[in-house]
Structure 1
């Protein structure tokens, strides 16, 4: 499948479905047809509206949509997005709140590169922005990056995070969400050895596969059941002629989306059928819960082939982070070198992507860190998405994370010790 023709075929199918949706909506909405009420035409128009919107979102980068934030002075302050560091594969951006006094809490959110844009963390940013100065990694869509910019694998990702940490200084508090958790842990250990003064103040790891084998899931089972040759042959394609990255080997976003949806096919099918009926009844709106969720969920980005393949091979198959054998740019990283960065892990009880046990493994790897500088939390009833967005995050996890940051601000290492780990059953 490693051909531009395959990539262009997928895009052609998506484009055709978008066109069919638009055509169905236009035809079924033709004024003359309204003289003879027909439920079939109403259903056709509703299907066309939902289909056109859905397929259109698959190639659009969502907007942050954060225009203002309420502050202590009782006023809403304008938020502007500024690029602090610009790099070929990702930028470091800052949500600058105009006219607000600088916040003591300075947080770097490390967004996942797992098929969705950094805007997946929009609600996370919105919830933290009133109480902290927020920075985030904004990874670029690989299809838009010329081949001349070279490769980008998990070592390059780790070095990007290292550079972003050094740019923001040692008073930064880092929160890594999902996929980057093991790499951000490695980046912190890397800094502990080469530039100790640039280490962050605190490190919070949310639902990441530090030790994928600690509690197996469908994701980890898949990683072990296929060979690297099979993955490269079946998942990797070359960017087509419509984009700046023409010829670059990628794991296409459209192919990733197929995998995402197949994991919960019945749930997604039911959600779209329900939305079509709501459109028919005239009770749907542009920003209703369905559209808010799927506008983000369907917006996917390509990953570079080397990033995807090296993640599967080195994080899931070889377990290099879990074994403390990870190498960055020829340097073997020792996570035990982290001695003065408070580390907290957050997991969801019902997380079926990175199950409880996979992330808390980071605390055992931090052998040089005193127990009073380690903390952990397992959120009851929360799934993967719920531990960084939604009510579980807003009401329970966010206050705990901010409390942890405050408790360890300015080197005051007073985090509560992590509870003893119970033996977890495999799921």
Structure 2
């Protein structure tokens, strides 16, 4: 599989389906045939198919033009780059004409096949009350080979750099996949530069210990060898992209894996949308399009990051066993003694099941019990605990309360200098 040919063939298949949808949409719109009721279905099928496959290669916009302030006025939100790096940037959602909020929150987005815009609703919910920063990871196919590798250690060091850039008066929220690496970044700072540690760390639905409660994801990780993964999942970026020749885990393969877990649900949603479009009931921003425009927009991961995640986080459980190393140096979680840590899990989470994230609190043996907190949201799935109704109504207030309870006396928010 590690060939440009397979990568380009997969892209060609996607392109062909997009073209087929466009063709059927045009065919169904032909005036001479439009009188036939069946043509409405043909046109609708074309519209939904074209949109579906076009979204797979489009990076979504943040789409946050303004928010309403306490003065009742709309304030424009501008995206400001704080740190620019080859594999990802640290960005700030700067609200014009508003005094900076005292709560400074760094959202660490997953690098798991989707763009950071997957956390758009999370950002929107926090903006009125917080200064929000987020890790904006880049599509690996757009990163030249000359930029070098990017694995779990590099990810951890990126998070360390971002924390240092924002200063110690900071609260970090890690969503899903990066939870163990953000915990490792905090422990790394505890050993190397304690004053740069954030005030609090909230871990949401992350695999700190994948063996704590099995899911299809963990079962898959245990059932395949690293050689099988490398041969079947890794491809080399084709000639149409800046990252030509880079080894990646393609986003389209990741999307196929995601959708196969709930194939009947996605099939039903597609069919229902076709009939809705045929009846003239579909719209640009209806519930289906809003969800799938984001869900279908996927990005490639660096091969070394994907493989090292499976090998070291899932198979080797290096974080769970306190045996994680960065640049040859042991990251000792026992050294985390001052950062308040809260874990959040969904009762019905089929990606990172309850117990996997909670394991972080047992791992932090040097942290006083009063600095630890956890919450399991009844009836919530994976998406709901950071962007759905459960997040908005229950979890968000709890997280903000946890941040406030661990803010303490104001500390300088300037970047922390190297010691």
TM-score category of the 2 structures, normalised to the smaller one:
over 0.9
RMSD of Structure 2 on Structure 1 (CA): 0.7
Distance across 1 between alignment mates of 2:409 and 2:324: 28
2:387 equivalent to 1:394:
no
1:410, distance to aligned residue in structure 2 (A): 2.3
- 1:27 is aligned to 27
Distance across 2 between alignment mates of 1:358 and 1:192: 23
- 2:338 is aligned to 340
Distance across 2 between alignment mates of 1:31 and 1:85: 54
Distance across 1 between alignment mates of 2:177 and 2:37: 46
User: What whole-Å deviation, never above 9, does each CA across 1:24-67 have from its counterpart, x for those lacking one?
Assistant: 00011011222xx3232111100000000010000000000001
97, 103, 106: which is aligned to 2:104? 106
SS where residue 85 of structure 1 aligns? strand
SS where residue 171 of structure 1 aligns? coil
Distance across 2 between alignment mates of 1:264 and 1:200: 37
- 2:12 is aligned to 12
- 2:295 is aligned to 297
User: What whole-Å deviation, never above 9, does each CA across 1:312-351 have from its counterpart, x for those lacking one?
Assistant: 0000000000000000111100111001000000000000
Alignment of 1:195-274 (within 5 A): 195-274=193-272
- 2:3 is aligned to 3
User: What whole-Å deviation, never above 9, does each CA across 1:56-81 have from its counterpart, x for those lacking one?
Assistant: 00000000000101111111100000
User: What whole-Å deviation, never above 9, does each CA across 1:242-286 have from its counterpart, x for those lacking one?
Assistant: 000000000000111110110000000000000000000001000
Distance across 2 between alignment mates of 1:411 and 1:175: 20
Distance across 1 between alignment mates of 2:93 and 2:28: 44
Distance across 2 between alignment mates of 1:175 and 1:309: 24
156, 167, 170: which is aligned to 2:168? 170
2:379 equivalent to 1:381:
yes
SS where residue 18 of structure 2 aligns? helix
SS where residue 32 of structure 2 aligns? helix
138, 141, 157: which is aligned to 1:140? 138
188, 191, 204: which is aligned to 1:190? 188
User: What whole-Å deviation, never above 9, does each CA across 1:201-236 have from its counterpart, x for those lacking one?
Assistant: 100000000000000111000000000000000000
- 1:158 is aligned to 156
Whether contact under 8 Å (1:182, 1:321) holds in the other structure is: yes
For these two proteins, the number of residue pairs brought into alignment is 410
Gaps of 5+ in 2: 411-419
315, 318, 331: which is aligned to 1:317? 315
2:352 equivalent to 1:354:
yes
Whether contact under 8 Å (1:347, 1:359) holds in the other structure is: yes
Whether contact under 8 Å (1:192, 1:337) holds in the other structure is: yes
SS where residue 352 of structure 2 aligns? coil
Whether contact under 8 Å (1:107, 1:135) holds in the other structure is: yes
Whether contact under 8 Å (1:201, 1:411) holds in the other structure is: no
Distance verdict in 2 for CA 1:411–1:183, change over 3 Å: farther
2:133 equivalent to 1:130:
no
1:411, distance to aligned residue in structure 2 (A): 5.7
Distance across 2 between alignment mates of 1:322 and 1:164: 24
SS where residue 167 of structure 1 aligns? helix
84, 87, 91: which is aligned to 2:85? 87
Distance across 2 between alignment mates of 1:376 and 1:390: 19
Structure-2-length-normalised TM-score: 0.97
1:131, distance to aligned residue in structure 2 (A): 0.4
1:179, distance to aligned residue in structure 2 (A): 0.2
Gaps of 5+ in 1: 413-427
- 2:279 is aligned to 281
- 1:404 is aligned to 402
- 1:119 is aligned to 117
User: What whole-Å deviation, never above 9, does each CA across 1:85-141 have from its counterpart, x for those lacking one?
Assistant: 000000000000001011000000000000000000000000000000000000000
SS where residue 58 of structure 1 aligns? helix
- 1:55 is aligned to 53
